[in-house]
Each structure stands twice: as C-alpha cells, then as structure tokens.
Amino acid sequence: MPYIAQFWPFPFPGWGGLSGAKWNVSVASGVAQLTSDLIGTYNPTPDSQVVVFGYSQGATVASQVKRNLGQLSDAQKADIAFVLIGNPNRPNGGLFERLALLGTVPILDATFGQPTPTDTGIQTTDIAFQYDGVADFPTYPINLLADLNALAGFAYIHGTYLAPNAKSDPGELPNGLDPATLESTVSEIVANCQTDPRCQQHGDTTYVTIPTPNLPLLQPVRDLGSATHLQFITTPLVDLVQPALRVLIETGYNRADYGRPTPFRLIPTANPITVTVDLVKAVGDGVDAAVHDITGKTP
C-alpha cells in the first residue's frame, strides 16, 4: 500500500531526511490510505478475507487502523487479520512504547505511547527479532550494554526482516538466519507457544520473538575480522565474550508479558543469584567456544 512512509529529519535511506514528512503526518497518510483500501478496494468478506501486513512505521499505521476497527461486529472482525513485524508500538519492547512518557514531541511531530491494542478481537501476530532496537528495546535504560546492543540492533537487524530483496546488501539475511533455519525456528516457537517463552499470547495477539544468534553489539568486530582477514583472531575473541555479554544484556529486559504496555523502568528486577549462576556458566561456554574456534575441538 503506497503512503508517505517517512520520518523527518533522519537521513536514512527512504526516510526522507530534512525534506521528508514528519512522523505523525506520515502515519496519518498511511491510516487514511489503509482505511480507504479496507472499506473500498478490498472490503473483507467471508469469501475474501484480508490480512493487513505492517513493517516498522507500517506496523504503527496498522496498529492505529486496528484500534479504529474495534467497533466492527464479531462477524466482520473474523474476516480481517493483522501481521506486524519490527513494530515500534509493540506494548513491551517497542521503542515508541518505551518512550511513552514523552507523549507528543512537537519538533518531531511524533507521538510516543499508543501501544498496539490487544483487546479488539481481531486476530494479530506480532513478530520481532530479539535485540531489534525498534521492536525489542531494553526495559531498563540504566543497562548501558543493553542500550548499546539495541542501537546496534537497529543498524544490523531492523532492516533485515524482508531480506534478501532488491534493496538488500549482498548476502544479507534476516537476522543472519538462512530461510530454512528461520522457517524452522519460527515453526518450533509457534508449535510450542504454550510453553516456549518466545511465544506469548495476550488478548487477540500472538507475540513471536525470534532469537538472534549473534549479538549486534559485537557485529562490528566480526565485520572488522572479515574486512582484514583476521577472523582467526576476531572470531575466537567474539565467541569468548558473547555468552557472558548476553547474560548481562538480558538483565536489561523484562520479557514477562509482551502484551502489557511497558514504558522505561528504572530498577532492574533480575535475581542476582540467578544472574551469577548464569554468568558463571556463560563464561565456561565462551571458553569452550573460543577453544573450538582455535583448535577445532570441543573441550
């Protein structure tokens, strides 16, 4: 669906830069277009059901339209479904909900908060890559490691959901996962949704969080190794520290309920005993991985 799809003043490709539209203007244009399409062009019926797909700002557009459709009858709702990826308004994890206390920032004309509703009765699937800085931002900003990792996740993960495509970098894969691995991972998560914490159900929404195999925070080191042909140094180094860093970064998150609107919080709730035990194990795992990289053998 064509709409403005820009975010002034950010100079990223396709965002419009200084000549682009501001966030609320862009979102409003998308809401108007999508609403018009649903009422006119597509007009969902039992014989012609419609799935609305939204990615990044498009997920914000879809979220607002979903909220507006809450007044439909149950029969009408049954003919519509939503699939959201990289959703800035994911209730627990979306950057725009983390910053909810800002409200509307006039200079950006961007409204924070407004989490995607889960009480409309319209079937919705919300998919995010772990550590995507737009859809999976830390709960506790005091954890600077987690913050930096999420910012790196914006750079390395957020733009890869639809890779490979004509705009992808050569060899780019979604979240670094080949299609077969990605498909099997998602299938496994969804099949075990009642017990797998990576799949959660809240109201009318199913949340799927796909694990990220490599921390985006360490990706520059991996890239440096590839560019300089020094992977024999950088790969063992990264694999040595990654498990422990992952434990520390996860203390910046509260993943108890992805459907509960959760702005930034100040005091982490991680159990220090659990973190210590996990950290000791992670250090051992890192040593084993580094030794395997160097010798080809697992201790």
Is 230 a domain residue?
A: no
More confident: 178 or 124: 124
| Confidence category of residue 122, pLDDT binned at 50, 70, 90 | very high
Helix spans in 213-258 (H): 219-228, 231-250
Question: What count of other Cβ atoms lies within 10 Å of the Cβ of residue 145?
Answer: 17
More confident: 261 or 71: 261
| Confidence category of residue 179, pLDDT binned at 50, 70, 90 | confident
Torsion, Cα of 218, 224, 226, 232 (10° steps): -80
| Confidence category of residue 249, pLDDT binned at 50, 70, 90 | very high
Tokens of 273: 């005993």
Catalytic residue among 36, 48, 56, 73: 56
Is 101 a domain residue?
A: yes
pLDDT mean across residues, the chain? 95
Tell me the mean pLDDT in the region 87-110. 98
Look at the chain and report how many structural domains it folds into: 1
Which CATH number do you get for residue 191? 3.40.50.1820
Is 268 a domain residue?
A: no
Residue 99, pLDDT > 90, answer yes
29 is a catalytic site residue: no
What angle (nearest 5°) sits at the alpha carbon of residue 192, between those of residues 67 and 244?
A: 95
Question: Which domain, by its residues, includes 138?
Answer: 17-214
Tell me the mean pLDDT in the region 69-95. 96
Contact between 110 and 22 under an 8 Å Cβ cutoff? The reply is yes
Is 229 a domain residue?
A: no
Alpha carbons within 13 angstroms on the beta-carbon side of residue 287 total: 7
Q: What is the pTM of this model?
A: 0.94
Contact between 88 and 94 under an 8 Å Cβ cutoff? The reply is yes
Is 237 a domain residue?
A: no
Is 156 a domain residue?
A: yes
Return the minimum-mean-pLDDT range out of 68-72, 203-207, 281-285. 68-72
Return the minimum-mean-pLDDT range out of 39-43, 102-106, 281-285, 289-293. 39-43
